[in-house]
Chain A
Amino acid sequence: MTDLTEKSPALQDVAAKLFRARSHSIEVEARPRTEVLEKPLTFNPPAPKRYYFYLMAPAIAVLAFISLYPFFWLIFLSLQDVDIGGGEWVGFDNYIRLFSDSRFINGWTLLLKYSVICLTLQLSIGVLLAVVVNNSRYERFLVTALLMPMMMAPAVAGLLWLFLYNGTFGWYHWLMQSVGILDSASILARADTALLAVIIVDVWQWTPLITLIALAGLKRVPRDQLEANMVDGASPMRNFFSITLPNLYPVLLIAVLLRFMDNFRFIDSLLVLTGGGPGSATKILPVYLFEVAFKFFKLGRGAAIALTLLLVTIILGKILVRVFENPKAGRS
């Protein structure tokens, strides 16, 4: 490294003069000879943008009907005690009762626990896998293989794993028994392992998504940064942690938020696998909501629960959109 200030006075003089030389390009406040009015005397009529609104109208109308209208309907429902027979106005009763509903609180806790464990596993395995795949000669083939679980309907995946976990003839059950992790009871039948079982299915199906996202992120790690760091003396390992990983944060943040919201959105495989049981061991909030609304037909209460779920989703969505628009924001 050379520092100009350590050099001879002559050089310093040149540097000083160079800086002065810049001011030599002129910036004179210039006004044309004719006086410019501050504002036009009259404006032309504005340009019509109607064309665009016509194009947007059908989509907005459909969305309003299937999203906005149901949303207000939901609020309206949540203020009533509705079941098959009819409704009765109860005000905020549904909400007040939620606070003392242990299954509601249990639902939220389980949902968070489920999401956090799923994401931790998916992230660690997924990123590791991405790094390995990225260095592999068979990347195309590997990615193709990884895609497969995501193409499967979650409900079908649930059924498939129900078969694999089956306590009498499931091959995975046999495997777990043989290595001594399980006794004869199925992993799904025990309250302490059922949650783990559904997590495994989620990890099986969606880790590849994290891998693909991380892979796309890896491709875009700026080469020059890696090379500059190497020339500065970093080992490949250090390179990974100081350059590659920080560059992955924005995409991984998006991946995490997406998966988090999907855990709220999709309960297909969980419904098929355990239906929330045994007991309430896997009754995460959306499953509980499903039960309240479509098993007991307590539509009012269901609506109140749904609104709490919606609220959290909207907050998460706001964060996600902000990250979309400014990926760098996710790094701080």
Chain B
Amino acid sequence: MASRDVVTYETPLTKLIRVLSVVFLALYLVWTLLPFFIMFISSFKDLLAAFKLPAVGDWSDIGVFFDFTPTLKHYRSLFEDNAFGTYTMNSLIAAGGSAVISVIFGSLAAYSLSRVNFRGKSDLFFWIISTRMAPVVAVMVPLYSIFRSLDLVGTLPGLILAYTTFNLPFAIWILKGFFDNVPYAIEEAQMVDGATRFQAFRSILPLVAPGIGAFIVLCILFAWNDFLFAAIIGSGGAKTLPVATRELVQPQNIQWGAIMAAGVITTLPMMALGLVIRKYLVTGLTMGAVKE
């Protein structure tokens, strides 16, 4: 059994590189995580404390950042004065609904695309995937007209359908990769053993279930984080968290504490989900091109 890593030998140069890379890593971590930290802390500051800033160039006074009494009033006001409870529900229903629809229809289509060959298959496949890649703003114009004529604007079903425009092709594309990895022989064995075509399909579902589960989560993530569709198709009756957060920015009176609190509410669940499906995240974000 060979060792896992390629052997390296110590030289002064490699030592220097090692030190430099630790410094680089530390800097990058600060750069990546500091905004989260500021957001999180600021969501517990009341208005005055949030505006406290040292004088320009006064590095010694940097501790003023921590000079505040934590308050939960922003969180409270979001749910009491503002309807963030409803918005959270809207986000959940729209994201979850579109994810479930996409994965159900998507897995059926992905399965057939994986198992059967026919003329024009690659064209069909390209059409499906280009639907996913199309710029949101570009399709928004006609989609809005169509949705308006169907009275879907400002409704949750409308928003679910809108999210399906990008989640369904994504699901088909990714799930096809999953089904491709399941040997067809397993289904054939099932059929020879006495299963119908549909029973054979059902019998391999447990094999792709972890992947399907992860991609329901990814679809939720994409839909949850969407802003444009929610702002336009959902405007009115189906306000989601990102839109509601954005609306806290008023021309005269920007409620930064509330915005940071809303940001925490919007971001935390997705971070948790992201950690749960970490294994599939790279595959998902690169549309299956790169597997971890």
Contact = CB atoms under 8 A, between A and B. Distances in A.
Contacts, number: 284
B225 A62 contact: no
Given A70-B142, A77-B142, A317-B133, A155 B126 contact: no
The secondary structure that dominates the B interface is: helix
B242 A156 contact: yes
A154 interface: yes
A210 to B, nearest CB: 10
A168 B254 CA distance: 13
Contacts of A14: none
Interface stretch (A3-11, A34-42, A98-106, A127-135): A127-135
Interface in A140-183: 142-156, 159-164, 168-169, 171, 174, 177-178
A266 interface: yes
B157 interface: no
B21, B29, B135, B256: most-surrounded residue (chain A CB, <10 A)? B135
- Interface majority SS (helix, strand, loop, mixed), chain A: helix
Contacts of B6: 223, 226-227, 230
Q: How large is the interface on B (under 10, 10 to 19, 20 to 34, 35 or more residues)?
A: 35 or more
A299 B145 contact: yes
A128 B24 contact: yes
Interface in A40-71: 49, 51-53, 55-56, 58-60, 62-63, 66-71
Given A59-B109, A209-B285, A265-B136, A155 B246 contact: yes
Interface string B125-162: 11111110111111111110110000000000000011
B146 A204 contact: no
For this complex, into which size category does the number of interface residues on chain A fall?
35 or more
A155 B112 contact: no
Interface stretch (B76-84, B180-188, B203-211, B264-272): B264-272
A159 B246 contact: yes
Given A77-B145, A132-B21, A209-B285, A204 B32 contact: yes
Interface string B98-110: 0001000110110
Contacts of B169: 63, 67
B228 interface: yes
Given A67-B131, A265-B136, A151 B108 contact: no
Contacts of A267: 137, 228
B86 to A, nearest CB: 18
A177 B266 CA distance: 31
A95 interface: no
A122 B246 CA distance: 27
B202 interface: no
Given A66-B164, A208-B32, A236 B8 contact: yes
22 contacts: A52-B112, A55-B112, A56-B108, A62-B168, A70-B146, A129-B24, A146-B32, A148-B271, A151-B225, A156-B267, A159-B259, A163-B259, A251-B289, A251-B290, A255-B290, A258-B289, A268-B226, A271-B227, A293-B141, A313-B138, A314-B133, A317-B126
Interface of B: 6-8, 13-14, 21, 24-25, 28-29, 31-33, 35-36, 38-39, 42, 50-54, 56-59, 65, 101, 105-106, 108-109, 111-113, 115-116, 118, 124-131, 133-143, 145-146, 161-162, 164-165, 168-169, 172, 197, 221, 224-228, 232, 241-243, 245-246, 249, 256, 259-260, 262-263, 266-267, 270-271, 273-275, 278, 281-282, 285-292
Given A155-B242, A212-B282, 6 more contacts: A58-B108, A63-B169, A153-B266, A155-B225, A160-B35, A324-B288
Interface of A: 49, 51-53, 55-56, 58-60, 62-63, 66-71, 73-74, 77, 125, 128-129, 132-133, 135-136, 142-156, 159-164, 168-169, 171, 174, 177-178, 204, 208-209, 212-213, 215-217, 219, 223, 226-227, 230, 236-237, 251, 254-255, 258, 261, 264-268, 271-272, 286, 289-290, 293-294, 299, 302-303, 306-307, 309-310, 313-314, 316-318, 320-321, 323-324
